[in-house]
Amino acid sequence: MKISIVRARVSDVDGILELQKNIWKDEGGQSNRYDMCDWIVHGYVFVAKHRSKIVGTITAFRTSRNELYVTEWIVDKEYRRKGIGSRLYRKLISAAQLPILTILSTDYKESVAGHSKLGFRLVKRLRNPYGLKEKKERLLLRRSQ
Ligand SMILES: CC(C)(COP(=O)(O)OP(=O)(O)OC[C@H]1O[C@@H](n2cnc3c(N)ncnc32)[C@H](O)[C@@H]1OP(=O)(O)O)[C@@H](O)C(=O)NCCC(=O)NCCS
């Protein structure tokens, strides 16, 4: 199966939103269309494509402390465990050459395992990091450059 990993273009926005809708359907986690366009143009967004279908994506932006913050890392269920997620991350790592931070819910076991494999280390455990009255525990993870 030939999967290409490329920097996203604005024309990819609908494919990214469709993938998000399928993955986060129970959690309503689709991005705002205009935010996604901003991230594509001004941040770092890569997509994995099978033929012309978007089957994975990673989104990150540069923080005020000159680190990258990853907001999302997703691969279509049918395409998981084939190394596509790792390829997306490696593309981001080599494009940005910066330390990387992310905050993950402990529910996302495969993502926690994947980050550990990619060299991320636990900075601290967080409860309710955004003051949104959530009960979930989250992990602040960091990967040195
Ligand atoms: C996390 C995710 C993007 C990984 O994508 P993927 O293409 O399957 O990743 P890879 O095949 O490159 O796997 C990378 C590593 O992740 C870990 N991993 C992936 N799936 C796993 C699973 N089901 N169980 C345990 N570890 C898993 C493994 O360490 C794996 O390395 P290995 O295959 O050599 O053991 C994908 O599982 C996903 O979309 N999950 C749901 C969304 C999510 O939780 N995103 C993170 C929050 S934004």
> 84 with 55: CB under 8 angstroms?
yes
The per-residue pLDDT for 25 is: 81
Give mean pLDDT, residues 100-116. 95
Decide if pLDDT at 80 tops 90. Answer: yes
Candidate of 80, 88, 89, 107 to mutate for ligand 1, largest count of ligand atoms within 8 Å of Cβ: 80
- For residue 75, the ligand 1 atom closest to its alpha carbon is 39
Cα 37 from Cα 54, distance rounded (Å) = 16
Cα 31 from Cα 144, distance rounded (Å) = 27
pTM, two decimals, is 0.95
| C-alpha 86 to ligand 1 mean position (Å) | 8
- For residue 89, the ligand 1 atom closest to its alpha carbon is 12
Decide if pLDDT at 89 tops 90. Answer: yes
Decide if pLDDT at 92 tops 80. Answer: yes
